[in-house]
Amino acid sequence: MHCVYCNGYLKEFSVRNTKSMKQHMLNSDLRNMLPSMTHGKCVSCGSIIATDNRMKSEEFLLSIYNNLPKDYWQELQSEKSNSFFVELGNLLNPNQNSDMSICDVGCGDGKFLDCISECWQKFGVELGKANEHMINHKKITYFNGTLDRSPFRKHSMDIITYIDVFEHLADPRKEIKIAKEFLSPNGKIVIYTGNANSIYSKMSGKNWTYLNVVGHIAVASEKGLINALNSCGFTKIDVLNVNHHSSVSFPKWLFYLLASKLLGNRGNIPLFNDHMIMIASI
């Protein structure tokens, strides 16, 4: 297999047995279909890519997302995540321009779109099980499916966001090309995802907890994601290195890192300063 971001060679990186994993997305049938989660690391760009059944079957991935517990989205919400969403919305539309449209792909229960200013014209796309809150939402135009199959007008979106989405995509370059078709001439694609080549993710190594999520199949490095964007015609790219809103403090991260070393390089090392926001235009 090759890197889905730069087509580089993948070197074996990590193996996780799913039988003993605490993973709410995996029922017994799915665990039997995926006895282990394996990742390779790209020797060219440093991205970390799944090399198991998750990359070979769209049906398998869909079965994972349709197996989410009812309270899945609520568990992800916090004051920190809400504050981050507000700040991101203000960053993308500092003048509160009411003519600007935004489409959040992988919108889940619409929390990001709910948190940002009412000045936006809001659109949401979600592939997983349809969310009742979004179906009945009066201020968000919602489509349950993929962006390329949506009824939204092409070349009409000022901003298309992918928040915690790209790590779930088996073909991220294909998704970038689709987003390009829906962006207005001066539109921007915004990608918020883990950075496989950040200092802290590299120090965490194969025990980085980000790799313990069954849906995380294509974890980009900064170099890899820039390569993918460039190959699709995006040349103006800004990169912000950020903390994920579920990150722990540095002392807590350091404790887990040292504990992992003492346990013979085992355990899960939590997130800390290992994410990026990439804002790109043509």
Burial of 95 (0-12, 13-18, 19+ CB in 10 A): exposed
pTM of the model: 0.94
Which range, of 42-51, 101-110, 127-136, 254-263, averages the lowest pLDDT?
Answer: 127-136
Q: What is the mean pLDDT of residues 157-179?
A: 97
Instruction: Look at residue 33 in the predicted model and tell me its pLDDT.
Output: 83
**Is the pLDDT higher at 153 or at 76?**
153
d(CA 69, CA 33): 19
Which range, of 59-73, 91-105, 253-267, averages the lowest pLDDT?
Answer: 59-73
Instruction: Look at residue 135 in the predicted model and tell me its pLDDT.
Output: 86
Split at pLDDT 50, 70, 90, the class of 239 is very high
Query: How far does CA 175 lie from the centroid of its chain?
Result: 12
Q: What is the pLDDT of residues 30-62, one digit of tens each?
A: 888 888 999 999 999 999 999 998 887 777 777
Mean pLDDT of the chain: 91
Q: What is the mean pLDDT of residues 220-244?
A: 97
Q: What is the mean pLDDT of residues 53-75?
A: 72
Instruction: Look at residue 26 in the predicted model and tell me its pLDDT.
Output: 77
Instruction: Look at residue 73 in the predicted model and tell me its pLDDT.
Output: 59
How is the chain split into domains, by residue range? 78-281
Instruction: Look at residue 222 in the predicted model and tell me its pLDDT.
Output: 98
Q: What is the mean pLDDT of residues 78-96?
A: 89
Instruction: Look at residue 7 in the predicted model and tell me its pLDDT.
Output: 97
The DSSP-derived string for the chain is: -B-TTT-PBEEEEEEEESTT---TT--HHHHHH-SEEEEEEETTT--EEE-SGGGT-HHHHHHHHTT--TTHHHHH--HHHHHHHHHHHHHH-TT--TT-EEEEET-TTSHHHHHS-TTSEEEEEE-SSPPHHHHT-SSEEEEES-GGGS-PPTT-EEEEEEES-GGG-S-HHHHHHHHHHHEEEEEEEEEEEE-TTSHHHHHHGGGBGGGGSTT--EE--HHHHHHHHHHTT--EEEEEEE--TT---HHHHHHHHHHHHHTTS-S-BPP-S-EEEEEEE-
Q: Does residue 185 have a pLDDT over 80? A: yes
Fold of 78-281: Rossmann fold (3.40.50)
Q: How many percent of the chain have pLDDT more than 70?
A: 96
Contacts 24+ apart (CB under 8 A), 107-113: 107/134, 107/142, 108/73, 108/76, 109/73, 109/74, 109/133, 109/134, 110/134, 110/137, 110/140, 110/142, 111/73, 111/76, 111/77, 111/81, 111/82, 111/85, 112/85, 112/88, 112/161, 112/163, 113/140
Split at pLDDT 50, 70, 90, the class of 96 is confident
246-249-253 Cα angle (round to 5): 95
Split at pLDDT 50, 70, 90, the class of 128 is confident
Q: Does residue 223 have a pLDDT over 80? A: yes
